[in-house]
Structure 1
Amino acid sequence: MSIWGKLFSAVKGHVNTAAENIQDSNLMVILEQEIREAKEAIAKAKDERARMTANRVLKERSVAELESEVHRRTDAARTAKSTGDEVLAVEIIESILKLKEKSISEQDLADQYKATEEKMDASIRQSQSRIENLNRKIESAKATEALIHAQKASSTSTVASNGKLASAVDSLDRLEQRQAHQQAMLEAAEQEARVDSGADLEEKIKRLERPGQGDVQKLLEAL
């Protein structure tokens, strides 16, 4: 299978969803390796195209030189004929025919090289476009993968945070209940101590002797 065949077999279905391409942890490695191989193939194709270009230039240069020689010998044949040397004129014309035949052959080769160049240019452009497109898809898949990992991490952190928060709230409720219970026990113990010491009774007697300044009714009755 060609490089492009393997490459696009590997990414079959990629356009449907980027998530499908990141399920296999080895897929990205395979794709990147295929792209490297494709780039190497393109580099070799460019070298071959350069060779075709060089050959075409050489053939076109040969054709130009042959045509120039044809013109020079044609002038020479006219001169030989005008001077009455028809034997020389015929000999020159025969050489001209051979030069033209060679020129046509060289031009045919130049045309073939040019056609090959054009086909290779089109193929290289298409291959480069495919690689660029595939690189965009891979970058998109990588970004999607990173986003999915981030979302998973965020979701896990949120769940863990919520769990810790709920546990902390429960602990705080238990602490408050324990503190309220302890406070009630202290107040009861203090009250019991006051009763045992008589302080509670003495407090009641003092309130009878000196009504509270804020008790307006009692102050009124004391007048």
Structure 2
Amino acid sequence: MSVLNKIWTALRGGVREMGDAIVDSNGIRIFEQEIIDAKNSIQQAKTNLTEVMARKMQAERKVSKLVEDIRTHEGYASKALDQSDEALALEVAGKIATFEGEKREQDAIVARLTGQVEQLKAHIKKAEKLIADHERELSIVRTTESVQKATEQVVENVAANNSTLNTARESLERIKARQELKQDQLEAGELLDKEFAGNDLDSKLEEAGIKGETASAADILARIKAGKQ
């Protein structure tokens, strides 16, 4: 059982590492999608806000209508009293009380909706500011990633070019060495030709008795004596 638990733990660890790798490799895409989702949420919040504002406007219209009804019925009650019809005036007063009760309810609704509207507006403004900040950050991380990729590509190209240049330099050195060897061979051949040509001439001169005669010891001694006289 312990072995199975360890295997299961290892599998869960592998899945987590795989998930982390996917998240890391798609970080910018995920961040961008999260911003899009947040924008959609704000748009939905604005739609909800318009609904709340519409309900508030309806409640305010009801309040205005009730105020008008109360004022009108107060006039009716006053006229009934002028006619000494207190019973009718009392009945009208009861109607006014109903209107005032409804008005208090609508006033409470208006107050509650007003608070909700202000709260929603504050949340939306805060969210929009946060999204704007995230969009600026997204632009920065995109630019940073582009620069890093470009730098990495340049480094790879330079490394590849250096390898190519090194290979080309080696080839050039081999060519130069081969050419120098060929030049040395040509010069050596010329020297040999001259040397062999000179030896042939010396042989001909010696055969003709023009060159190559060696003075004898007697001749040398006679030359020395002549020099002393």
> TM-score range with shorter-chain normalisation?
0.7 to 0.9
Partner Cα separation in structure 2 for residue 169 and residue 32 of structure 1: 48
How far did residue 98 of structure 1 move? 1.2
Aligned to 2:159: 159
Consecutive unaligned residues in structure 2, runs of 5 or more: 1-21, 202-229
Contact 2:23 2:30 in 1 (8 A): no
Aligned to 2:169: 169
Partner Cα separation in structure 1 for residue 188 and residue 55 of structure 2: 112
Count of residue pairs brought into register by the alignment: 182
- Give the structure with the higher percent helix: 2
Aligned to 1:184: 184
Aligned to 2:24: 24
Once the two structures are superposed, the pairs formed by residues 9-158 of structure 1 within 5 Å of their partners are: 24-158=24-158
Partner Cα separation in structure 2 for residue 170 and residue 36 of structure 1: 56
How far did residue 80 of structure 1 move? 1.5
Consecutive unaligned residues in structure 1, runs of 5 or more: 1-21, 202-223
Q: What TM-score do the two structures reach when normalised by structure 2?
A: 0.71
Taking a change above 3 Å as real, the CA distance of residues 116 and 23 of structure 1, as seen in their structure-2 partners, is closer
How far did residue 79 of structure 1 move? 1.5
Larger radius of gyration: 2
Q: What TM-score do the two structures reach when normalised by structure 1?
A: 0.72
Structure 1 counterpart of 2:192, which letter?
A: E
Partner Cα separation in structure 2 for residue 23 and residue 168 of structure 1: 43
Provide, for residues 78-128 of structure 1, a one-character-per-residue CA deviation record: whole Å limited to 9, x for no partner: 122112222211211121111111111111101111111111111111122
Provide, for residues 169-211 of structure 1, a one-character-per-residue CA deviation record: whole Å limited to 9, x for no partner: 232222222212211211222343355557x96xxxxxxxxxx
How far did residue 66 of structure 1 move? 0.7
How far did residue 46 of structure 1 move? 1.4
Aligned to 1:205: none
Partner Cα separation in structure 1 for residue 154 and residue 50 of structure 2: 54
Structure 2 counterpart of 1:174, which letter?
A: R
Taking a change above 3 Å as real, the CA distance of residues 142 and 72 of structure 1, as seen in their structure-2 partners, is same
Structure 2 counterpart of 1:62, which letter?
A: K
Partner Cα separation in structure 1 for residue 68 and residue 172 of structure 2: 105
Identity %: 29
Name segments (4+ residues, structure 1) moved above 4 Å. Answer: 194-198
How far did residue 47 of structure 1 move? 1.5
Taking a change above 3 Å as real, the CA distance of residues 82 and 23 of structure 1, as seen in their structure-2 partners, is closer
Contact 2:63 2:107 in 1 (8 A): yes
Structure 2 counterpart of 1:136, which letter?
A: R
Structure 2 counterpart of 1:92, which letter?
A: V
Contact 2:66 2:100 in 1 (8 A): yes
Contact 2:52 2:117 in 1 (8 A): yes
